[in-house]
Amino acid sequence: MSILVTGGTGFIGWNITKKLVEKGEEVVLFDIAPPRRGQNIEELAPKVKFRRGDLAYWPEVLDVVKRNSIKEIFHTGAMLSEACEENPLAAYMVNINGTFNLLEASVLFGVEKMTFISSVASYSLGEAEVISSRSPQRPHSMYGVSKVCGELLGEYFNRRFGLDFRCVRLPSIIGPGRGGGGLSSYTTLMIQEPALGKPYEVYVTEDTRCPILYYKDAVNCLLKLHEAPGDRVKTRSYCIAGYNPTAGEIAGMVREKIPDAKITFRPDPEKTRIVKSWAQKIDEFEASDEWGWRREYTLEESIEDFIEEVRKNPERYI
Ligand SMILES: NC(=O)c1ccc[n+]([C@@H]2O[C@H](COP(=O)([O-])OP(=O)(O)OC[C@H]3O[C@@H](n4cnc5c(N)ncnc54)[C@H](O)[C@@H]3O)[C@@H](O)[C@H]2O)c1
């Protein structure tokens, strides 16, 4: 029996896969994109297999679930925010229809559990000062709409067919190799680029805040929810908070570790406006109360560890 990781060659999917292999699991990666630089699947064989395929294409989703005796799924494959806005039809096909395909295949072939990644971007802009797992979601973006649909479909399949669906709404995840996708990518790149000795120009104002979480905490969070006993998972879809620094504060912390870091600010008013409109205060009470979620890394430790990781293998991130 194997665990399927959709989006398995993506930033979060690949990092979950490495943890699952450490735990002795057999993992099947499903992704429309081939492995990235530094993702050496042969090294992890035969524990890890890669199957190239499209979530939006039912026969490929059905086939990967049917042929690999899948018992559990981490569903991380998705189009990210900017791509969804550029092509809403593709976002519908991949994020909404693709999630439906996976849920349907799960029920047909006896998958027991699915953990899905949603986003705090699934809340409406600026409506509530503090958002929690129980706050209403009325997203304005196609990405947010697709995430809410995924959550609702998963919860429906849980009620109707007993599939053990679980979900976290993550803030922006920072870490080596996240890349430039999504408007929050500056929170990663203003650490990664100076760690590589490169300059970075930040496209929001210094006082712009964005909720962020280190990728090692995000992966631990997903595993902790996935492994939590069934009777502890009551809410099913959980908000996860992270830290909420300004871009100026991140720059200051990076300069403490890399005194010659070349970080400059050239704010784009529209990008700044959008980032500032995101939920700033996130209440993660249900996640900590029901299954004991706690961050391990402080913000300072996250930045320090991030810089060390990049410096260990810079060729992976250039
Ligand atoms: N990174 C963040 O800050 C963040 C924050 C909140 C939620 N999330 C969610 O976490 C998940 C993983 O994000 P990530 O940061 O690893 O992004 P990523 O882009 O690195 O990974 C997503 C993967 O999905 C794959 N994919 C896209 N379309 C596909 C399709 N049609 N069929 C199969 N695979 C497809 C991509 O090729 C990619 O490898 C996504 O669902 C994302 O919405 C990410």
To test the ligand 1 pocket, which listed residue (5, 14, 32, 141) has its Cβ within 8 A of the most ligand atoms?
Answer: 32
pLDDT at 126: 63
Regarding the beta carbon of 12 and ligand 1, being less than 6 Å apart is answered yes
Whether cis (ω within 30° of 0) applies to the bond prior to 46 is yes
Domain span holding position 75: 2-172
d(Cα 118, Cα 284) in Å, to the nearest integer? Answer: 14
Nearest to 303 by CA among 139, 158, 170, 191: 191
267-281 pLDDT tens trace:
999 889 888 878 888
d(Cα 166, Cα 230) in Å, to the nearest integer? Answer: 10
Nearest to 100 by CA among 48, 136, 61, 42: 61
Least confident interval from 130-139, 187-196, 203-212: 130-139
* Residue 155 region by backbone torsions, left for phi larger than 0, else alpha for psi between -120 and 50, else beta: alpha
Same domain (yes/no): 275, 310: yes
Same domain (yes/no): 189, 286: yes
70-112 pLDDT tens trace:
999 999 999 998 899 999 999 999 999 999 999 999 999 999 9
Average pLDDT over residues 109-133: 88
3-state secondary structure the chain: CEEEEECCCCHHHHHHHHHHHHCCCCEEEEECCCCCCCCCHHHHCCCEEEEECCCCCHHHHHHHHHHCCEEEEEECCCCCHHHHHHCHHHHHHHHHHHHHHHHHHHHHCCCCEEEEEEEHHHCCCCCCCEEECCCCCCCCCHHHHHHHHHHHHHHHHHHHHCCEEEEEEECEEECCCCCCCCHHHHHHHHHHHHHCCCCEEECCCCCCECCEEEHHHHHHHHHHHHHCCHHHCCCCEEECCCECCEHHHHHHHHHHHCCCCCEEECCCHHHHHHHHHCCCEEECHHHHHHHCCCCCCCHHHHHHHHHHHHHHCHHHCC
Same domain (yes/no): 164, 190: no
> What does the block give as tokens for 128?
């509530």
pLDDT at 38: 84
7-23 pLDDT tens trace:
999 999 999 999 999 99
Say if residues 32 and 8 touch (Cβ distance below 8 Å).
Answer: no
**Residue 226 belongs to a domain:** no
**Residue 232 belongs to a domain:** no
- Please state, in angstroms and as integers, the Cα–Cα distance from residue 23 to each residue in 6, 17, 173, 212, 250, following that order: 18, 10, 23, 27, 33
CA of 208 to the centre of ligand 1 (A): 24
To test the ligand 1 pocket, which listed residue (39, 57, 63, 76) has its Cβ within 8 A of the most ligand atoms?
Answer: 76
CA of 290 to the centre of ligand 1 (A): 26
To test the ligand 1 pocket, which listed residue (15, 57, 119, 186) has its Cβ within 8 A of the most ligand atoms?
Answer: 119
- In this predicted structure, the answer to whether residue 125 has a pLDDT above a threshold of 70 is no
Which pTM value belongs to this model? 0.96
Structure confidence at residue 128 as a pLDDT band (50, 70, 90) = low
Regarding the beta carbon of 117 and ligand 1, being less than 6 Å apart is answered yes
Regarding the beta carbon of 76 and ligand 1, being less than 6 Å apart is answered yes
Average pLDDT over residues 2-6: 98
Share of the chain above pLDDT 90, in %: 86
Regarding the beta carbon of 9 and ligand 1, being less than 6 Å apart is answered yes
Same domain (yes/no): 149, 199: no
**Residue 217 belongs to a domain:** no
Q: CATH number for the domain including 275?
A: 3.90.25.10
d(Cα 58, Cα 169) in Å, to the nearest integer? Answer: 26
To test the ligand 1 pocket, which listed residue (30, 60, 80, 178) has its Cβ within 8 A of the most ligand atoms?
Answer: 80
CA of 12 to the centre of ligand 1 (A): 7
Say if residues 219 and 295 touch (Cβ distance below 8 Å).
Answer: no
The closest-lying atom of ligand 1 relative to the alpha carbon of residue 13 is: 16
**Residue 149 belongs to a domain:** yes
Same domain (yes/no): 47, 30: yes
Q: Work out how many domains the chain is built from and give that number.
A: 2
Q: CATH number for the domain including 64?
A: 3.40.50.720
Least confident interval from 48-62, 104-118, 179-193, 251-265: 179-193
Same domain (yes/no): 159, 192: no
Q: What is the mean pLDDT of the chain?
A: 95
